[in-house]
C-alpha cells in the first residue's frame, strides 16, 4: 500500500513538472501569427514527453501545459483549442512510438519509420486541428484560418525532430528516465 502511494505521488509530481516544462517551452519564444495566435516551441516539449514517457503523460502535459501558457500569455481564447489539439498530439505521438517495457529495459530505440509516422500524425493533428477549430470556434472563417497552416506545419515538424533528439539525449544520459512513467 505504501509503495502504491509513493508511486502515485511520483507520477503526479512528474506530470506536474512536465506540464510546467510545456508551459515554459510554449511561452519562452512567441512568434505572432496572422490568426491572432502565436508560434512557439511547445511541440518540442510535447514530443520529448511523448517519446520518453507514456501516452497519458503526454496527453495531460501537452494539453494542460499549452492551455495554461495561453492563459498566462494573454491568449486565453486559444486555451480550449490548445488543450484539445496538443493533448491529442501528445497522446497520438506517444501511442505511435510506444514500446513494450521489455524493449525499454533492453534499450530498444524507436524505429525511424515510427518517427516519420509520428511526424506526419503530429503535423496533421496540429495544423489540421488549429485550422478546423480556429475557423469554427474563433470565428476566423476557413480562409483566414488557412493562414496559420504553414506556421503550424513548421512548428510541429520541427517539434517532432527536436523532441526526438532531446529524448534520445536525455535517455542516453540517464536511461532510467524511461521507466518513470510508463503506464
What residue numbers bound the domain in which 149 lies? 2-179
Rounded CA-CA distance 66/170 in Å is 22
Of 48, 50, 79, nearest to 65 (Cα)? 79
Give the angle 30-32-35 at the CA atoms, nearest 5°. 135
Write the pLDDT tens digit of every residue in 12-40.
999 999 999 999 999 999 888 877 778 89
The grid coordinates listed for 81 are 483549442
Note the pLDDT of residue 135.
92
Note the pLDDT of residue 100.
63
In this prediction the pTM is: 0.90
Note the pLDDT of residue 60.
97
Number of compact structural domains in the chain:
1
Of 174 and 24, the one with more pLDDT: 24
In degrees and rounded to multiples of 5, residue 140 shows phi and psi of: -80, -30
Q: CATH number of the domain that 149 lies in?
A: 1.10.1760.20
Residue reference for cell 510546467 = 20
Rounded CA-CA distance 92/46 in Å is 11
Residue 32's beta-bridge partner residues?
38
Q: State the CB neighbour count (10 A cutoff) for residue 95.
A: 15
Q: Are 15 and 52 in contact (CB under 8 A)?
A: no
Rounded CA-CA distance 77/71 in Å is 8
Q: State the CB neighbour count (10 A cutoff) for residue 150.
A: 11
Amino acid at each position: 500500500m505504501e509503495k502504491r502511494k509513493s508511486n502515485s505521488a511520483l507520477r503526479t509530481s512528474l506530470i506536474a513538472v512536465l506540464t510546467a516544462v510545456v508551459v515554459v517551452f510554449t511561452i519562452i519564444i512567441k512568434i505572432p501569427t496572422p490568426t491572432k495566435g502565436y508560434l512557439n516551441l511547445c511541440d518540442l516539449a510535447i514530443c520529448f514527453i511523448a517519446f520518453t514517457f507514456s501516452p497519458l503523460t503526454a496527453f495531460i502535459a501537452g494539453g494542460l501545459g499549452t492551455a495554461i501558457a495561453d492563459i498566462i500569455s494573454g491568449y486565453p481564447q486559444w486555451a480550449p483549442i490548445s488543450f484539445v489539439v496538443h493533448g491529442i498530439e501528445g497522446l497520438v505521438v506517444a501511442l505511435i512510438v510506444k514500446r513494450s517495457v521489455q524493449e525499454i529495459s533492453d534499450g530498444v530505440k524507436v524505429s525511424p519509420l515510427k518517427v516519420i509516422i509520428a511526424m506526419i500524425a503530429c503535423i496533421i493533428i496540429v495544423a489540421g486541428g488549429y485550422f478546423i477549430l480556429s475557423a469554427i470556434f474563433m470565428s476566423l472563417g476557413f480562409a483566414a484560418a488557412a493562414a496559420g497552416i504553414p506556421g503550424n506545419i513548421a512548428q510541429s515538424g520541427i517539434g517532432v525532430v527536436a523532441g526526438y533528439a532531446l529524448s534520445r539525449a536525455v535517455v542516453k544520459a540517464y536511461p532510467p528516465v524511461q521507466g518513470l512513467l510508463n503506464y
